[in-house]
Amino acid sequence: MILGFNKIEIFLGIRDLEHILTQYGSSVIGAFFLMSCTTSSSISLEGKNVWILQTAPIGISQILNSKIAVNMSIHLIGYLFAMIAIFPNIGTGFLQILLTVFVPVFYSFFISTVGIFFNIKYLNLNWNDEISVIKHSPASIITHLIAIITIILSALLFFIINFIYIIIPICLSFAIVGIYLYKKSIKTIYLIQKY
C-alpha cells in the first residue's frame, strides 16, 4: 500500500488491486479475524484454576463478556493498522466508509461468540499442556472449521451477488447468530460448576 498499487499489482500479478481493496477490503480484514479466535480455548485454559472463576464476585455473563472483549481487543490492534493502510485508498462514498468501519466488527463479534459457545460445549479442564487445548481441542477445531466455511460461503456469495447487496445481510446474519450463541452460552455455562 505504501509502495503504491502499481508496484504491488506488478509484483503479485493482480490487475485492478485498488478496486478489489475498495470493494472487498472490509471483508478481507474480517476473514483474518475469523481465522484468529482466542475464545475457543479461553475457558478451558483455566484448567485446574477454574475455581477462581467459580468463586469470583462477578457474574458469569461478565466473565463471558471479558473473554469476548479480549478477543475483540486483539482484533482491534490489527484492525487499526489495516484501517491506516486501507482508508487512504478506498472510495470516499459514505456507504463504503461505513462498511469498511463496521463489517470487520461484525466478523469479530461472530467468531468470538462462536468460539466461546463451542468452548463451553466441549469444555476440557483436565489437560497436560496448553497446546492440546489451544490447537487440538474439539472447540478449537470446530471454531476454525466454521471460520473456513464462513469465508468460503462469503466469497462465493460475493462472486454471485454484488458485494454491496450481500454484505449487509451477511453482517446481520453474523449479529443474529452471535447474539443467539451468546445467550445460549450464558445458559449453558453451568457446566463449569461440575468441575
Q: Report the predicted TM-score, pTM, of the whole model to 2 decimal places.
A: 0.84
CB neighbourhood size of 82 (10 A): 20
Residue 2 is predicted with a pLDDT of 53
Strand ranges, E, within the chain: none
In tens, the pLDDT along 83-99 reads: 887 777 666 677 777 88
Residue 133 is predicted with a pLDDT of 83
- Decide if pLDDT at 120 tops 80: yes
Residue 193: pLDDT band (50, 70, 90) is low
Higher pLDDT, 195 or 113: 113
User: What is the rounded end-to-end Cα distance, in angstroms, of the chain?
Assistant: 50
Instruction: Write the DSSP symbol of residue 124.
Output: -
Residue 111: pLDDT band (50, 70, 90) is very high
